[in-house]
């Protein structure tokens, strides 16, 4: 991923530190490792860290090239998220929204130009559910309600909220997809209520609005047709969002196995029993978990690379290929959560302590499997596609 090369920039809301030049991904990850306990304690990734993620190019990864972005190939961005997740799951989850401009590409091009007027490094967060009704008024809608799970909202420049399903004129191609209204983040109230067992640092608080006007030019159908003619925006947007979140568990599983391998040479155990490396169940379990992670990762990236090659060839991604994107993402999320739990069990009694890294890896990984795009329902919909029947919900 390319870091910024332009002159000094101040973010559109003037609440980030002044731009201080590019930052390498390695340097970013080093800081994440040092500060992950801080993020967990304050329940969000702070704005100075968001600023550094901007400097590393995270939030221009899906900005159209016509607006100065990288429009990065999805497999390359997924590799970046995986690396960040090895250091911290919550930070990688927030970084995943560097892909969210693929949603914004459905806005009128003039609206997108306004969003990127101050630069390509814009952070978009959203709380789409539960969908709220909006009152139609001349030129737009009045929006009221409260929405949940707005990951990264405290560091966002722009926030989207769900205001019902796609309007009547778009139902034929977007049935069941949420209609989304976009506001400057400063205009949306954040309800500070994120208190969970895992992914605490994502800051996935509620959002609240009361009779807030949104011009119709600032609304779009999530997962609808992009209005930007660049390859990235022909890649299936909803499947991409499933992938970016699943990539977090790839990194968490890698971290868990690294922690487990690091315990192998412990010379003194609590009970005086042989060290882990001398136990057959440890060696077998470590090897089996490594194979499980690598297998899930191979399916995950194989599917992503295949669909990206299709896009670059100028062909549409067929439903069967999009199904593999969704299935491989869901499989990776669940298989990697299993890997983390196996590592926890093999690690022994020391893993129960709060100061053990394994504790947070377990808690974070099980949260990933609860994401709506990665739940067990994906298997039902995916199986329907293989069987040649219509899934019961919008898919893929």
Q: Is residue 81 packed enough to be buried (19+ CB in 10 Å), middle (13-18) or exposed (0-12)? A: buried
Q: Is residue 305 part of a domain?
A: yes
Residues 214, 268, single domain; the answer is no
Query: Which residue is it, tokens 């299935």?
Result: 327
Residues 241, 211, single domain; the answer is no
Q: Is residue 348 part of a domain?
A: yes
The answer to whether the CB of 206 falls within 8 A of the CB of 150 is yes
Sheet holding 134-137, edge to edge: 134-137, 140-150, 205-215, 189-191
Q: What is the DSSP letter of 99?
A: G
CA–CA dist 231, 364 (Å, integer): 33
pLDDT at 270: 61
Choice between 173 and 7, residue whose per-residue pLDDT is larger: 173
CA–CA dist 50, 54 (Å, integer): 6
Residues 210, 242, single domain; the answer is no
Residues 195, 328, single domain; the answer is no
pLDDT at 177: 78
**CATH code, domain with 203:** 2.40.110.10
Residues 249, 383, single domain; the answer is yes
CA–CA dist 99, 83 (Å, integer): 16
Residue 308: pLDDT over 50: yes
Residues 204, 243, single domain; the answer is no
What is the domain count for the chain? 2
- From 7-11, 264-268, 275-279, 365-369, the region with the lowest mean pLDDT: 7-11
Report residue 106 CA to chain centroid gap.
Answer: 19
Q: Give the three-class secondary structure for 56.
A: coil
**Per-residue confidence band for 167, with pLDDT thresholds at 50, 70 and 90:** low
pLDDT at 82: 98
CA–CA dist 180, 218 (Å, integer): 8
pLDDT at 14: 41
Structure tokens at 133: 């009704």
Residue 7: pLDDT over 70: no
Q: Cα-flanking dihedrals φ and ψ of residue 233, to 5°?
A: -85, 5
CA–CA dist 263, 299 (Å, integer): 29
Residues 248, 206, single domain; the answer is no
CA–CA dist 97, 203 (Å, integer): 13
* pLDDT (tens digit per residue) in 184-218: 999 999 999 999 999 999 999 999 999 999 999 99
- From 46-60, 69-83, 268-282, the region with the lowest mean pLDDT: 268-282
Residue 318: pLDDT over 80: yes
Q: Is residue 45 part of a domain?
A: no
Residue 9: pLDDT over 50: no
* pLDDT (tens digit per residue) in 340-374: 999 999 999 889 999 999 999 999 999 999 999 99
Chosen domain end from 221, 255, 278: 221
Choice between 21 and 37, residue whose per-residue pLDDT is larger: 37
pLDDT at 174: 63
Q: Is residue 372 part of a domain?
A: yes
CA–CA dist 327, 337 (Å, integer): 15
The answer to whether the CB of 255 falls within 8 A of the CB of 364 is no
**pTM of the model as a whole:** 0.92
**CATH code, domain with 260:** 1.20.140.10
Peptide linkage before 130 cis (omega within 30 of 0)? yes
Residues 335, 370, single domain; the answer is yes
Chosen domain end from 221, 247, 273: 221
Q: What's the whole-number mean pLDDT along residues 318-332?
A: 98
Q: Is residue 331 part of a domain?
A: yes
- From 4-18, 46-60, 90-104, the region with the lowest mean pLDDT: 4-18
Structure tokens at 264: 């192998």
Residues 277, 242, single domain; the answer is yes
Residues 282, 334, single domain; the answer is yes
Residues 242, 198, single domain; the answer is no
- The pairing of beta strand 219-221 with beta strand 178-184: antiparallel
Q: Is residue 115 part of a domain?
A: no
Q: Is residue 143 part of a domain?
A: yes
**Per-residue confidence band for 393, with pLDDT thresholds at 50, 70 and 90:** confident
Query: Which residue is it, tokens 């980030």?
Result: 16
- Percent of the chain at pLDDT > 70 equals 90
Q: Indicate the length of the chain as a whole number.
A: 396
**Ramachandran category for residue 164: left, alpha or beta (phi over 0 → left; psi -120 to 50 → alpha):** left
pLDDT at 342: 98
H-state helical runs in the chain: 25-42, 47-55, 74-87, 89-95, 101-104, 109-115, 171-174, 237-262, 280-312, 319-347, 357-368, 377-387
Chosen domain end from 157, 187, 221: 221
Residues 260, 216, single domain; the answer is no
pLDDT at 394: 86
Beta-bridge mates of residue 150: 205
pLDDT at 274: 84
Query: Which residue is it, tokens 């990539």?
Result: 247
Task: Determine the structural domain holding residue 197 and report its residue range.
Answer: 124-221
Q: Is residue 21 part of a domain?
A: no
Neighbours of 197 (CB within 10 A): 11
């Amino acid at each position: 991923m390319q870091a910024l090369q332009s002159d000094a920039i101040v973010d559109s809301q003037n609440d980030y530190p002044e731009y201080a030049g590019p930052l390498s991904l390695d340097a970013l990850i080093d800081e994440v490792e040092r500060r992950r306990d801080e993020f967990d304690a304050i329940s969000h990734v702070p704005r100075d860290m968001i600023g550094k993620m901007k400097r590393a190019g995270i939030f221009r990864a899906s900005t159209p090239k016509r607006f100065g972005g990288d429009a990065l190939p999805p497999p390359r961005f997924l590799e970046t998220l995986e690396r960040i997740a090895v250091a911290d799951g919550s930070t990688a989850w927030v970084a995943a929204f560097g892909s969210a401009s693929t949603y914004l590409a459905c806005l009128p091009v003039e609206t997108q130009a306004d969003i990127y007027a101050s630069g390509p490094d814009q952070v978009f967060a959203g709380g789409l559910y539960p969908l709220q009704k909006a009152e139609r008024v001349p030129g737009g809608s009045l929006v009221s309600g409260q929405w949940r799970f707005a990951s990264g909202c405290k560091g966002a420049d722009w926030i989207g909220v769900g205001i019902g399903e796609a309007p009547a004129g778009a139902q034929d191609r977007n049935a069941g997809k949420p209609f989304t209204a976009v506001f400057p983040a400063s205009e949306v109230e954040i309800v500070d209520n994120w208190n969970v067992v895992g992914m605490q640092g994502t800051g996935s608080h509620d959002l609240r609005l009361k009779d807030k006007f949104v011009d119709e030019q600032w609304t779009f159908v999530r997962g609808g047709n992009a209005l930007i003619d660049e390859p990235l925006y022909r890649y299936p947007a909803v499947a991409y969002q499933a992938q970016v979140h699943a990539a977090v568990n790839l990194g968490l599983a890698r971290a868990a196995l690294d922690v487990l391998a690091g315990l192998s040479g412990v010379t003194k155990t609590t009970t005086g029993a042989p060290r882990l490396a001398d136990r057959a169940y440890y060696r077998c379990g470590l090897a089996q978990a490594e194979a499980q992670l690598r297998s899930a990762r191979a399916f995950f990236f194989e599917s992503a690379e295949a669909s990206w090659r299709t896009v670059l060839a100028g062909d549409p991604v067929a439903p069967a290929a999009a199904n593999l994107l969704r299935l491989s993402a869901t499989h990776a999320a669940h298989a990697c959560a299993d890997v983390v739990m196996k590592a926890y069990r093999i690690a022994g009694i020391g893993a129960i302590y709060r100061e053990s890294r394994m504790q947070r890896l377990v808690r974070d990984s099980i949260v990933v499997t609860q994401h709506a795009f990665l739940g067990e329902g994906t298997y039902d919909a995916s199986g329907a596609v293989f069987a040649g029947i219509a899934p019961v919900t919008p898919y893929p």
